[in-house]
Amino acid sequence: MKSLLLSLALFSFAVSTAPANALAAAPAIAVGHPAPNFTYHLLGGARLSAGSLRGHRYLLWVMATWCPSCVTGAHALAAHAAKLRRAGFRMVQLEAAGDLGYPGPSLESIRNSIGAVAAPPNWYWGTLSEAQSLALDPASAPDVFYLVDRHGRVRAQSSAPAAHWAQISAFASGR
């Protein structure tokens, strides 16, 4: 009986801690450290690995589709898309897992509202898994972005690209 109870206790402990361990295993993003080497699922079914962005400065942006500053931010970036493209700057716009628990429009509809500039290789659109979302957006903020340098190192963290365009522009230009 004792061994049965012990087995049950061990089993319950293993079940209750397994998902947390799996999520905790995902590398958390931090300024000054390399960006997690994730592979992102893009709209349309393609995949994008963080490693393939080496050699380019890029914006790694986690967002929720219902977030007003995200939609505004995407349009603000689109207004400067030509300049960013000339600078070789990339943008990776990713919907947080489950849209952070609140319903919103589809990511595809937002991308379509931006137009032709919102396309690879300058602008990638995709969705995050739970583990990726937790690693890139541990606070579950609906609008958070990172500026990643050519070596894959995170140089800055901020939110709302429309309000922080000057910071993005300076980084994209190498300043």
- Give me the residues that bind another protein (CB under 8 A), please: 64, 66-69, 71-73, 100-104, 139-143, 159-164
As measured in angstroms, the least distance from the Cβ of 156 to another protein is: 15
As measured in angstroms, the least distance from the Cβ of 130 to another protein is: 14
Q: Evaluate the CA torsion angle 46, 136, 123, 174 in order and state its sign.
A: negative
CB closer to another protein out of 64 and 136: 64
Cβ-based neighbours of 142, under 8 Å, separated by 6 or more: 63, 64, 66, 67, 70, 96, 100
- Cβ–Cβ < 8 Å for 94, 131: no
Q: How many CA atoms lie within 13 A of 104 on its CB side?
A: 22
CB closer to another protein out of 68 and 174: 68
CB closer to another protein out of 11 and 102: 102
As measured in angstroms, the least distance from the Cβ of 127 to another protein is: 17
CB closer to another protein out of 50 and 63: 63
Q: How many CA atoms lie within 13 A of 23 on its CB side?
A: 14
As measured in angstroms, the least distance from the Cβ of 165 to another protein is: 9
